[in-house]
Amino acid sequence: ICFSECGYDYECLLGEGCYGSVFKGIHREDRSKKAAIKCIRTYGPESYLEVDGEPRPVLAEVAMMLRSGSSCSSIIKLHDWMENDVGFILIMEVPDQSMTLYRYLKNCGSIDGGTASRFRQQLLDAVKHLFSCGIFHGDLHLENVLVSESSLDLKVIDFGCALAIEDEPFESSDYHGNEIFCPPEIDDQTTFFAEPAYVWCLAAMFEKIMKACEMNEWCYIIRLCLARDPADRLRLHQM
């Protein structure tokens, strides 16, 4: 259904989840243009948020991507979006020859220190940008980050669990992210805040990257960021 409306032809399936699927598409008129096409079914008014410049509320995932803008190169870009009777269609950039950071680390087995530091800085830049825009990603983990094999540029993807930071403290029951990278306060407390949760998720990812390059330089910082009590963790600007 979505390909008959968005001007792209189907090339392949990139991924699918509970609420939708992501396909790779080729533009019908300009075959040099490719995009990731995400088709999302929506359920109920809780899926919508108001956005400046839009006449009516839009899907929360769209709202968060619009809020993020296009100034951070480490976050996937939303080119266009549309709504139909079933849900929303998101047209996003698709990096060439890319794979998830999880798959990249697994395939490589080991990486050099320079690559590890490059990954760490890009992830930190992306999270700082999202935080400054008032966005809590909500599902930050290795499989929601793409790596371009040629440039080693990273792209944070999938804003389906994102929350607006002005609504914090968040109810812990509103966290729907990956369990492996879930901050402990989600289980320990009834509410949580974006910044310490971000710090925990980043540190958990840094730990995986550090193990892939067999370096110990980050151990002290990671330990401070993985404190069980959110109040004891470093702040984003201290990372």
Q: Are 10 and 29 in contact (CB under 8 A)?
A: no
C-alpha to C-alpha distance for 119 and 184, rounded to whole angstroms:
24
CATH number of the domain at 60, please: 3.30.200.20
Q: What is the mean pLDDT of the chain?
A: 92
Q: How confident is the model at residue 85 (pLDDT cuts 50, 70, 90)?
A: confident
Both 114 and 229 in a single domain?
yes
Number of neighbours of residue 18 by Cβ within 10 angstroms: 7
Q: Which parts of the chain fold into alpha helices (H)?
A: 3-6, 60-68, 101-108, 113-132, 185-188, 194-213, 219-225
pLDDT at residue 132 tops 60: yes
Both 103 and 83 in a single domain?
no
Both 122 and 49 in a single domain?
no
Both 124 and 50 in a single domain?
no
Tokens in use for 174? 């509103």
* pLDDT tens string 180-233: 999 999 999 999 999 999 999 999 999 999 999 877 889 999 999 999 999 999
The amino acid that residue 129 corresponds to is: H
Both 78 and 149 in a single domain?
no
Both 155 and 228 in a single domain?
yes
What contacts 118, CB < 8 A, 6 or more positions away?
152
Both 160 and 57 in a single domain?
no
| Least confidently predicted of 25-29, 144-148, 185-189 | 25-29
Both 162 and 54 in a single domain?
no
Please state the pTM of the whole predicted model.
0.93
Select from 69, 92, 115 the last residue of a domain. Answer: 92
Q: How far is CA 5 from the centre of its chain?
A: 26
Q: 38: annotated binding-site residue? A: yes
Both 220 and 163 in a single domain?
yes
CATH number of the domain at 226, please: 1.10.510.10
- Predicted pLDDT of residue 49: 87
> Roughly how many angstroms between the first and final C-alpha of the chain, as a whole number?
45
Residue 53 structural domain: 3-92
Q: Structural domain tally of the chain?
A: 2
| Least confidently predicted of 9-18, 33-42, 74-83 | 9-18
Distances (CA, A) of 128 to 133, 134, 231: 9, 10, 19
